[in-house]
């Protein structure tokens, strides 16, 4: 009996320790989204808890589309240190993402060798925005006014900053902010 009691106490202590080590889900990222061109649904908080997150609304036929290259370079350089870039295609601006999700995925992979996670095609405009972009707005960021707006989230799931389309992924202020959070 004594052995069973100690064993039970050991499990209780271990599970308390494990729970204490896992930060709670951030309301900002506690949202489910579907992977691009797939059926898998991902809770962003559970999947990327404890990571620095850069969220970007993307488009394949935009003057800023070449930023995919810079986003992939950021992801490749810093992913082992805890950065993840999350792409969300949107057709909200001038019909610059007209394709279906399979076409978008193929374009991203073949044209820009995108390996960072891409998710379902969403709306990002005020009044019709997906839950994630609504939460970003509630947290204090503006709704995107064009493609390739970037939102930086710290390891605790807090909005740190946002960057407009003209701010390239390799801009010193983005890189410096990411490095500070890592």
Question: Domains in the chain and their CATH numbers?
Answer: 29-181 (3.40.30.10)
**Does residue 100 register a pLDDT over 70?**
yes
What are the φ/ψ torsions at residue 106 (nearest 5 degrees)?
-60, -45
pTM of the entire predicted model: 0.88
Q: What is the pLDDT of residue 24?
A: 81
Q: What is the pLDDT of residue 39?
A: 97
Query: Which tens digit of pLDDT belongs to each residue from 35-80?
Result: 999 999 999 999 999 999 999 999 999 999 999 999 999 999 999 9
Using CA atoms in the order 156, 25, 47, 149, what is the torsion angle rounded to 10 degrees? -60
Measured in whole angstroms, how far is the alpha carbon of residue 105 from the centre of its chain? 16
Instruction: Verify whether residue 108 is a known catalytic residue.
Output: no
Q: What is the pLDDT of residue 20?
A: 53
* 25, 45, 62, 108: the active-site residue: 62
Tally of CA atoms within 13 A in the half-sphere of 106 that contains its CB: 5
């Amino acid at each position: 009996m004594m052995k069973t009691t100690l064993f039970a106490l050991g499990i209780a202590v271990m599970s308390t320790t494990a729970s204490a080590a896992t930060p709670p889900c951030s309301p900002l990222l506690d949202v489910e989204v579907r992977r691009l061109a797939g059926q898998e649904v991902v809770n962003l908080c559970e999947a990327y808890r404890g990571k620095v997150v850069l969220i970007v609304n993307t488009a394949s036929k935009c003057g800023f589309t070449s930023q995919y290259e810079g986003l992939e370079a950021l992801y490749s350089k810093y992913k082992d240190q805890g950065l993840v870039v999350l792409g969300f295609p949107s057709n909200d601006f001038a019909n610059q993402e007209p394709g279906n999700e399979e076409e978008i995925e193929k374009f991203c992979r073949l044209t820009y060798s995108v390996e960072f996670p891409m998710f379902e095609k969403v709306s990002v405009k005020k009044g019709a925005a997906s839950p994630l972009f609504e939460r970003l707005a509630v947290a204090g960021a503006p709704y995107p006014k064009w493609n390739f707006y970037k939102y930086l989230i710290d390891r605790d799931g807090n909005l740190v900053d946002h960057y407009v389309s003209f701010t390239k992924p390799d801009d010193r202020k983005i890189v410096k902010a990411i490095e500070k959070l890592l």
